[in-house]
Structure 1
Amino acid sequence: MRAISGLWRWRDSPLRRPTDRAEVWVCLVALVLIGAAAPAIGWLTGAAAQDSLRRSVAEQRHTRQRVPATVLRRMAYHPPETDPDDGSAYTVRSRVLADWSAPDGTRRHGAVLTGLAAPHRGDRFMIWTDGQGRMTTRPLDSATADAHAVLAGFGATLLTAALVEAGRRLVLWRMVRRRYARWDQAWERVGPDWGKAGTGS
């Protein structure tokens, strides 16, 4: 409030220059954009991302399914791996060669991560596949989609605010440079005669 009241009194000061008024307006416009436009852009971005992600959730739930897979053999030793679809970072997965059936009945096989502690030939476990029977990740859930949408909106808000602030700083920098250039020109005009007797008479 003190800064605002100071600006209000400064508007009638005889020392106020036109550039001072321009700088104040630049700052006020930037403040309005950061306070109103940035949150609005963030909300719109988050809403658009949420709509897109919810469509993806519905599509993935429709096209992906869990099917049983059978262990053919355990693959050569690999360092312990974690399942990217598992919320726990401490769930160790074993890599095995397994086969499963596609929706059209054809047999598929490939390297799969399984949570079986000691997989043996013939052990069965569940995997996610797409409509063609190719192994894929589990469908995106609604809570994760909403969280990603919130992060997208928050990121868009911060990015907009940062761009506005960068624009404000650039404009003020150019205004200050222009002011200094005018001062230099003024000093060049009066500099050679500065302090001499009779100057200005």
Structure 2
Amino acid sequence: MRAISGLWRWRRNPLCRATDLAEAWVALAALLLILSAAPVVGSFVGGAAQDALQRSVRAQHEARHPVTATVVRKLDRSPLDADPETSSGRDLRNRVLAGWTAPDGSPHQGPVLASLKDPRQGDEFRIWTDRHGRLVARPLDSATASTHAVLAGFGAALVTGGLIEGGRRLIVWHMVRRRYARWDQAWDRAGPDWGRTGAGN
């Protein structure tokens, strides 16, 4: 950034080397690319992710159905279940044997994790099933899908900016290496005469 701010000042500076000016132009080009390309890439990726995720939301809502299940009896706690003393109210679930009717009308019964604090026989709670009554995960909601799409777009913009900055650093690194190589060659040519009286006259 210092090279960019000094670009105009270096234009007529007699101490400015051609490589200094080239580095400043590379930095300016990288900045302009970041400001123009990163938002475009982020917008494109975010839009594509939004379309794909919203299609997935619609498909999941068509294939998954909320069903009311009824507690038959409480089951013994599994070692994998959350500890009620360390779990929040949202995470607290109890294993129960429940019965439910599938959207196609078929009756089902099986072990289910119920979000009930103290489940008793006859208590009702909601589960998600497919059309045939098999248990499935809750479908993705539209707001969560949009949040994921925004994060994908933001991440793509950051990656684009990082790649451009990485390219700038690589170019400058090659320029500095060439500059040092030229300095070494100049020192090698001046070396035999270094320190001699009248050398170079």
More deviation, 44-53/8-17? 8-17
The CA deviation at 1:94 is 0.7
SS at match of 1:29: helix
The CA deviation at 1:5 is 6.3
| 1:146-200 Cα deviation digits (max 9, x unpaired) | 1111111111111211222222222212211221121112111211211212322
The CA deviation at 1:15 is 2.6
SS at match of 1:28: helix
CA distance 1:184–1:146, shift in 2 (3 Å): same
The 5 Å alignment of 1:139-154 reads 139-154=139-154
Which residue is 1:95 aligned to? 95
Matched, 1:37 2:37: yes
SS at match of 1:98: strand
Letter in 1 for 2:82: P
Report if the CA contact (8 A) 1:81-1:93 is conserved.
Answer: no
TM-score, scaled to structure 1:
0.83
Which residue is 2:58 aligned to? 58
The 5 Å alignment of 1:1-201 reads 6-78=6-78, 79-80=81-82, 89-91=88-90, 92-201=92-201
Letter in 2 for 1:80: A
The CA deviation at 1:17 is 2.3
- Percent identity between matched residues is 59
SS at match of 1:180: helix
The CA deviation at 1:109 is 4.2
Report if the CA contact (8 A) 1:103-1:133 is conserved.
Answer: yes
Letter in 1 for 2:89: Y
Distance in 1 (CA, whole Å) between partners of 2:138 and 2:5 is 58
SS at match of 1:71: strand
The CA deviation at 1:133 is 2.7
CA distance 1:9–1:126, shift in 2 (3 Å): closer
Q: Which runs of 5+ in 2 are unaligned?
A: none
CA distance 1:152–1:189, shift in 2 (3 Å): same
Q: Figure out how many residues of one structure are paired with residues of the other and give that number.
A: 195
Task: Give the CA RMSD over aligned residues.
Answer: 2.6
More deviation, 100-109/64-73? 100-109
TM-score, scaled to structure 2:
0.83
Give runs of ≥4 in structure 1 deviating > 6 Å: none
The CA deviation at 1:101 is 3.6
Report if the CA contact (8 A) 1:81-1:94 is conserved.
Answer: no
CA distance 1:77–1:158, shift in 2 (3 Å): same
